[in-house]
Amino acid sequence: MAVLDAVSAHVDEGRFVGLVGPNGAGKSTLLRTVGAVLKPDAGTVLLDGESVRDLSSRAASRRVATVPQDTSLSFDFDVREVVAMGRTPYRSRFRSNADEAGEEAVERALSRTETEVFADRSIGAVSGGERQRVVLARALAQDTPILLLDEPTASLDINHQIRTLELVADLVDEGKTVIAAIHDLNLAAHYCDDLLLLSGGRILDSGAPERVLTESNLGRAFDTRAVVSRHPVTGAVYVTALPERGGDREGRVHVIGGGGTVSRVLYVLSAAGYEVSVGALGTGDSDLETARLLGLDTVTVEPFAPIDAETRQRITERVLAADVTVAGDIEVGSGNLANLECAAESDALVVVEDRPFEERNYAGGDAAAVYRSLREQGAVVAGSAVLSAVARAIDSNP
Ligand SMILES: Nc1ncnc2c1ncn2[C@@H]1O[C@H](COP(=O)(O)OP(=O)(O)OP(=O)(O)O)[C@@H](O)[C@H]1O
């Protein structure tokens, strides 16, 4: 059985290319083929026009360094010695291995990977994540223009994931070419210049992260429903995998929210299978963005515009059509007055309160009075209990 088939790709010098794709897609096999560890049945890997298999292993090791997925080492050297093994392709068989440039390269690699603090410890006495950085240091000491990394952040904590990928990005800035298999699509999107999406041994798509990480490509490759948005802090493409809709819950729920107060509620209810509507929300509201990504029915208004009679009508229709209306942990001000009044038309109400009422942006006046009456009519629950509260409300109000 062919593990890879019809794979053709070109990587420009000085790029950081992420190999992404589901388990078993062939990412490691592709990296091992590029690194000449495996010989393809057909086809060639060219480095600067030269077939990698025509190079002596020493010459290949001066061009390409690899960090494998499995970094366990069966021998017991200290960390500095392991890193120094990266210098093997430069050692002469005839001279003693005193090699000043090599020693400098080893110390630099230890320092850049922040492994020098345990450089004198045995490799058997470092953690899995530390060992992964040691093996990266060994690859750096090899001083090659090309680096192949198979899951370089797999066993790293969140801090070292970022530090390692920042280091890799710096190496790329300095001129190295890097191909890395990375499972975390969001890290890959943030750090890589280009992505190659592999699935079933073939390249499904390649190019800039925003081109490759589309909802349709992710559906085809990973057989999952995912929404693609932009990360609010980094601006990079951001993928969120969703459980298959089709939780088996039946019923309609209308939600009033705003300012991100109900994003999680919308997600939980929608994933459970309910038909969810939400609004009115101002255009640009982060809850509206979530609703759009989840494909929900929304009522929108211009931000800060008063809710006119027609909008009020559209909210009321949804409240009346819903089995349950959920009021999120919203600010209770005049901007929400129409939403609160429409919610009050509901026969079954769930009111989410994570913050005490008094700690919210509570403007007093009519909105507060309507909100108080909602609380009296409805079940008051924490956001984490919204799903069971909705189910109970539907059961008791068939
Ligand atoms: N030595 C081998 N003999 C037979 N099949 C193999 C061998 N190595 C890998 N495979 C198979 O080839 C396919 C691709 O494996 P590969 O390790 O390249 O996937 P991957 O994309 O790196 O997966 P993961 O994300 O799980 O690391 C898998 O179905 C795997 O079972």
- Mapping DSSP onto H, E and C, the string for the chain reads CCCCCCCCCCCCCCCEEEEECCCCCCHHHHHHHHCCCCCCCCCCCEECCEEHHHCCHHHHHHHEEEECCCCCCCCCCEHHHHHHHHHHHHCCCCCCCCCHHHHHHHHHHHHHCCCHHHCCCEHHHCCHHHHHHHHHHHHHHCCCCEEEEECCCCCCCHHHHHHHHHHHHHHHHCCCEEEEECCCHHHHHHHCCEEEEEECCEEEEEECHHHHCCHHHHHHHHCCEEEEEECCCCCCEEEEEECCCCCCCCCEEEEECCCCCCHHHHHHHHHHCCEEEEEEEECCCHHHHHHHHHCCEEEEECCCCCCCHHHHHHHHHHHHHCCEEEECCCCECHHHHHHHHHHCCCCCEEEECCCCHHHCCECCHHHHHHHHHHHHHCEEECHHHHHHHHHHHHHHCC
CB proximity list for 71: less than 8 A, separation 6 or greater: 128, 131, 132, 134, 135
What tokens were used for 69? 């997925």
- Rounded Cα–Cα distance for residues 131 and 79 (Å): 9
Q: Which residue, judged by its Cα, is nearest atom 28 of ligand 1? A: 24
Q: Quick one: which atom of ligand 1 is closest to the CA of 150? A: 22
Cα(29) to centroid of ligand 1, in Å? 6
Choice from 29, 32, 34, 37 to test ligand 1 binding pocket (greatest atom count within 8 A of CB): 29
Q: Which residue, judged by its Cα, is nearest atom 31 of ligand 1? A: 24
Q: State residue 176's pLDDT score.
A: 96
Cβ atoms of 173 and 120 closer than 8 Å:
no
Cα(219) to centroid of ligand 1, in Å? 21
Cα(379) to centroid of ligand 1, in Å? 52
Q: Quick one: which atom of ligand 1 is closest to the CA of 30? A: 18
Q: Quick one: which atom of ligand 1 is closest to the CA of 31? A: 18
Q: Quick one: which atom of ligand 1 is closest to the CA of 181? A: 22
CB proximity list for 348: less than 8 A, separation 6 or greater: 323, 324, 325, 378, 393, 394, 396, 397
Let me know if domain 252-396 sits in CATH 3.40.50.450: yes
ipTM above 0.95, yes or no: no
Q: State residue 178's pLDDT score.
A: 97
Report the first-to-last Cα separation within the chain, whole angstroms: 56
Choice from 28, 34, 185, 198 to test ligand 1 binding pocket (greatest atom count within 8 A of CB): 28
pTM of the full structure: 0.76
As averages over each run of 10 residues, the pLDDT of the chain (398 residues) reads 82 95 93 88 86 88 90 84 90 64 90 94 90 94 95 89 92 96 95 95 94 92 84 84 75 93 91 91 88 90 85 94 94 85 93 81 77 89 92 84
Cα(244) to centroid of ligand 1, in Å? 27
Let me know if domain 16-213 sits in CATH 3.40.50.300: yes
Residue type, 174: E
Q: Quick one: which atom of ligand 1 is closest to the CA of 198? A: 21
Q: Which residue, judged by its Cα, is nearest atom 10 of ligand 1? A: 3
Q: State residue 55's pLDDT score.
A: 87
Same fold, 16-213 and 252-396: yes
| Domain range list for the chain | 16-213, 252-396
Q: State residue 202's pLDDT score.
A: 92
Cα(296) to centroid of ligand 1, in Å? 39
Cα(155) to centroid of ligand 1, in Å? 19
Cα(340) to centroid of ligand 1, in Å? 56
- Rounded Cα–Cα distance for residues 19 and 3 (Å): 15
Q: Which residue, judged by its Cα, is nearest atom 17 of ligand 1? A: 28
- What lines the ligand 1 site, CB under 6 Å? 3, 21, 23-29, 181
